[in-house]
Chain A
């Protein structure tokens, strides 16, 4: 990946992340679905990690988290920490497994949402927020994961469209390239 391509990708990711964060704060946070709000910023971080790798995912997670903490006057570093881990793990998933199933974005989105919601709640508890662990909290987390899972596929499609062409190593291109240049998985041909 050249420096220009890398710069183009970073620019796109930054612009898109900024838009998504403002959209999250300005629109999504004010539209409850089943009593909870979707969290497209967590989905964004997860999908950046899934498309661009662990380093980019972690960096994006940190930046998006910091932006959210700054804009919403939350405890600085809290969302950054959670999103950094989410972005990193999603990137690692891509690097280790490279999942290609159609439902991968949905599952990754749901998982990332669950990790971010539970992680955020745990961190808040550790910091001494005076809130009881109740069934309502569990219900909110479960509903939040479900709503995010519903939003995951459109968000994945949008992220993919925005970053298309600037992605470092498109799994589809890589698969095509492998099959054309190496003759697929034939044991008769040495790679």
Chain B
């Protein structure tokens, strides 16, 4: 009985496999107009109405499944779109940053043409900014290895930024012109009247140009660095004609007047700056060395520049 069952099982399997192989061989070997192909076409003709009916009957089921599928697909598409949006946003930010950098570099290039010939400009990137309200120092990525020295002027395309306060091998700390230790010999517009520009006490971000002869400044006038106006060794650290800012108000004080100046450079948005380094033995280099050698309290730009201004003013 068992043998009979086994034999029958194997016989059925063999029969079906052989039948399949025969069908396969015959179908594969014959032309499209052959008998098996014709059977297939006839079968399709017979079942196509059934298929149509089944298709229509099953459409709601298919739609239901499709709805789930489409919903899942929509979710994945949403995730993909969000990812793409994020990527495009990053690219946009990068492009905008590049554009701004480009503008700054172009501005610096134009500045180079204005004549800071005695200096060797070193382009640097601001790598760290003082996050506090007063925002008076920044750190740049160029230092002694690039020829940067203490007291070197720092500029960008908009004008004077500040000066190097401390220098390391591959970085430097820059005091901005709004720092309390800063003082710059400056003049208003094209006049010869010079004064000392310092941060305005109690008003962060504003500068005060003092010791100006009366009736020399008007609101809206530009304030630029005066450069060297004193005899050696009291020359200015900064080259002449660098834009610093614009006069916003004028205060009469007896024989002198002082004006409030708004910096032209956006000190809260610094990315690329240029350090005006001086070659060894040149005048700027000697000045820097002299300023650095002053005793504490006088070594700051304010003290040095005040000396120069006093000489002139006095």
A residues near B, CB below 8 A?
22-23, 25-27, 30-33, 54-55, 58-59, 61-62, 65-66, 69-71, 73, 75-78, 80-81, 84-85, 88, 127
Contacts and interface: CB of A to CB of B under 8 A. Distances in A.
A69 B27 CA distance: 11
A80 B23 contact: yes
A58 B127 CA distance: 75
B69 A27 contact: no
Contacts of B128: none
A106 B65 CA distance: 22
| The 4 A-B residue pairs with the shortest CB-CB distance in the complex, in nearest-first order | A77-B23, A77-B24, A81-B20, A31-B65
B12 A76 contact: no
B51 interface: yes
Nearest to B25: A77
Contacts of B26: 76-77
B62 A54 contact: no
B20 A77 contact: yes
17 contacts: A26-B55, A26-B62, A54-B13, A55-B9, A55-B13, A58-B16, A70-B39, A70-B47, A75-B24, A76-B23, A76-B26, A77-B20, A80-B19, A81-B17, A84-B13, A84-B20, A127-B28
Contact of B50 (A22, A31, A77): A22
B17 A85 contact: yes
Contacts of A88: 13
A83 to B, nearest CB: 9
A31 B13 contact: no
A65 B20 contact: yes
Contacts of A81: 17, 20-21, 24
B16 A26 contact: no
Count chain A CB atoms within 10 A of each CB in B26, B50, B65 and give the residue with the most: B65
Contacts of B61: 27
Contacts of A25: 51
B19 A62 contact: yes
B40 A22 contact: no
A106 to B, nearest CB: 21
A15 to B, nearest CB: 13
Contacts of A22: 50-51, 54, 58
A80 B12 CA distance: 14
Contacts of B20: 62, 65, 77-78, 80-81, 84
Contacts of B25: 77
B214 interface: no
Contacts of B9: 54-55
A54 B25 CA distance: 25
Interface residues of B, number: 33
Contact of B16 (A62, A70, A78): A62
Contacts of B8: 55
A129 to B, nearest CB: 11
Contact of B44 (A71, A77, A80): A71
Given A23-B54, A55-B12, A75-B28, 17 more contacts: A26-B54, A26-B55, A26-B62, A30-B66, A58-B13, A62-B20, A69-B40, A73-B40, A76-B27, A77-B19, A78-B20, A78-B24, A80-B19, A81-B20, A81-B21, A81-B24, A84-B20
A71 B17 contact: no
Count chain A CB atoms within 10 A of each CB in B23, B41, B55 and give the residue with the most: B23
Nearest to B22: A77
Interface string B1-18: 000000011001100110
A16 to B, nearest CB: 15
A33 B69 contact: yes
A131 B182 CA distance: 76
Contacts of A26: 51, 54-55, 58, 62
A31 B24 CA distance: 29
B290 interface: no
A104 to B, nearest CB: 21
A62 B22 CA distance: 13
A62 to B, nearest CB: 4
A84 B26 CA distance: 18
Contacts of A66: 23
